Structure 1
């Protein structure tokens, strides 16, 4: 028996099928386009997601119109995702640092900015100190660090003469941390040992507070898992008064790349992230691979009762700011950093704003914009001028993902 002929579909059904097919092709093409554009910054390897931790929601400001007139609900989101409106500042370029640095450290003592260590490239780390003189705007006075001292992700603070250097990563790529600690006598350029931490940490929040050296948070030995432990050590005039670190109240949220500030006899910890690059399993050079990260805007304060209190959060999540701050006229000034990744192409997004936290009103504001977005920059303040040097800058005005490691120095007159 002959098979009966199929009935022809009505024209309206054919139109519906055509629309569905076109939409399917569009979605596939869009997925392939986004995947092809997920390149990582030049100093770091390609992104490898091994964690299922969800990322944090974008800040409220990110849901508003951005500089490129595109919202997060649109498929053509501006590459300037999460830029906040900010006044323009007049920046002046100064003498460039002797070497470019990423994840270095800096401490200001009077008119001198001591700049330490850091990556030159992902395969090369610095092991010396450069000094910038704010009085005559020149670099000079280079000297070596101890061979056993970490090269990046350091905790560091000063009492006005002695610089205490705590733990950090030893070597290039994503090598392991060291528990070794040191103190530098800046007048004599002499180094001395301090008791080691109970366990090593990457980029812990570090400060001197009420006669004790406080170290908290950071990343654990795998470089990715956040630590919440908090230790302190009694110190005076560059010497430890104890041989062992004392356990203190844990920090409410762990992780590296935070600003840690003492102001008005209070200890504050600002911003940061959970998660970071880590060494690829089995790699003989500890090659860095990326795991998921969650950047946050949290601000915590340790009070007289030795209890943590939560203060108003930053205007948006911000990390890589451990040496990107200064205290001016009872306000904390923070420059640059990294925020949440672009919601579509998942690139790391650098920060180009200058933030102010008024310690009298406990209010945040955006007081300016940097010449470009930059992370792990090193900040100083002298004679009314705000300075920043080094770090990793963006790919251009319309592309906030990281590219070149720089050593440039800029300044602007700060009016608060």
Structure 2
């Protein structure tokens, strides 16, 4: 398998290794030199304050208007928008569909669990919604909207409560990855901490399994981008225990049952928008030292 990162508006490519190894295309855009100044007393407190500071930058950039969940296009060409955050910062349960032929938004049955920042996937005639947040609290709900019957179904909740986690979908499974683990009665930690957790929902069996240590992600990360290309689940960038956003990328090899390193992003960042088209995963914008305008794509060349 050959994978590469492509930077928009550049044709310059740097080869690494032989033809079977990933290659990298890069053009680093100018980044803001600004870095929030935060006084800290401990390494742990520094990581927490850094995480909150970067999130404040993201919130300021997005503004305080109604912020719907990331919309996506269905097989019928319609655009679906689910949940989101209202102008009062309250989580929303609204579900709407846009018909481009009629230039009209139509309401659909609201979600059973109001939330924002969740992961949504279209599979068959159902939209699956996993995780998300309600204020500072992570949501573990796993629900699906049947587009034919216009009804919601609840599935077993995500096993662990993690903020800024992310989810991916394959042909047979849903993956809930990483995040910021919240303190709880059974947790050793008294503060939120980054994790490399991997939890898998088997669609046929209808249950969640928590993976062994050998199948956890290589890096502890939160607020990162995910995708599924070339038969592998991809985790890119995000925030971890380092003093700056991550640029590392890893993919889960289902044959070897382990995560493997992939070419790093040219611009390390978190809080990115992502878009998957065929076997290309686009990572758009986000936060590096400040707001970033980088647009990069990880592609599986064998599928192009």
Per-residue CA distance 1:296-348 (angstroms, 9 max, x = gap): 21222211121101232111112113xx22322211222211123x5xxxx6x
Instruction: Tell me the alpha carbon deviations over residues 167-190 of structure 1, each in whole angstroms, 9 at most, x when there is no partner.
Output: 12224xx82222212223467664
Change (3 A) 1:193 1:295: farther
Alignment of 1:233-272 (within 5 A): 233-236=145-148, 241-243=149-151, 245-272=152-179
Does structure 1 conserve the Cα–Cα contact (< 8 Å) formed by 2:95 and 2:107? yes
Give the Å deviation of 1:256: 3.8
1:174-230 C-alpha deviation (Å, 9 max, x unpaired): 82222212223467664322222233213223223453322232223xx12222232
CA 1:262–1:157 in structure 2 vs 1: closer, same or farther (change >3 Å)? farther
Kept in 2: contact 1:377–1:388 (CA 8 A) = yes
- Could you say which residue in structure 1 is the equivalent of 2:283? 388
Give CA-to-partner distance per residue, 1:120-177, whole Å, 9 cap, x none.
86445369xxxxxxxxxxxxxxxxxxx8xx416x265543333432212224xx8222
Task: Work out which of the two has the higher radius of gyration on C-alpha atoms and give 1 or 2.
Answer: 1
How far apart are residue 357 of structure 1 and its match? 1.6
TM-fit CA distance, 1:374: 0.3
Please list, as runs of the form range in 1=range in 2, the aligned pairs for 1:3-402 lying within 5 A after superposition.
89-92=24-27, 122-123=59-60, 125=62, 150-151=66-67, 154=69, 156-160=71-75, 161-171=77-87, 175-185=89-99, 190-209=104-123, 211-220=125-134, 223-236=135-148, 241-243=149-151, 245-274=152-181, 293-303=192-202, 304-311=204-211, 312-321=215-224, 324-340=225-241, 342=242, 349-380=244-275, 387-394=282-289
Q: Please, which runs of 5 or more residues in structure 2 have no aligned partner? A: 1-21, 30-54, 183-189
**Gaps in structure 1 of 5+ consecutive residues:** 1-86, 95-117, 128-146, 276-290, 395-403
TM-score (norm 2): 0.67
2:71 and 2:177 map into 1 onto residues whose CA distance is: 15
Determine if contact 1:217/1:230 at 8 Å carries over to the other structure: yes
Deviations 1:17-63 (A, max 9, x none): xxxxxxxxxxxxxxxxxxxxxxxxxxxxxxxxxxxxxxxxxxxxxxx
Check 1:338–1:207 CA distance in 2 against 1; reply closer, same or farther (3 A cut).
Answer: same
Number of residue pairs aligned between Structure 1 and Structure 2? 246
**Distance in 2 between the 1:386 and 1:208 partners?**
17
Distance 2:216 2:226 in 1: 16
Give the Cα–Cα distance (whole angstroms) in 2 for the partners of residues 270 and 318 of structure 1.
9
CA deviation after TM superposition for structure 1 residue 393, in Å: 0.7
Query: What TM-score, normalized by structure 1, do the two folds share?
Result: 0.50
Q: What is the RMSD of the two structures over their aligned residues, measured on CA atoms?
A: 3.6
- Given that 1:274 and 1:294 are in contact with CA atoms closer than 8 Å, whether structure 2 keeps it comes out as yes
Separation in structure 1 between the aligned mates of residue 112 and residue 280 of structure 2, nearest angstrom: 40
Structure 2 CA distance for partners of 1:305 and 1:169, relative to 1, 3 Å: same
Asked if 2 retains the 8 angstrom alpha-carbon contact of 1:207 and 1:260, the reply is no
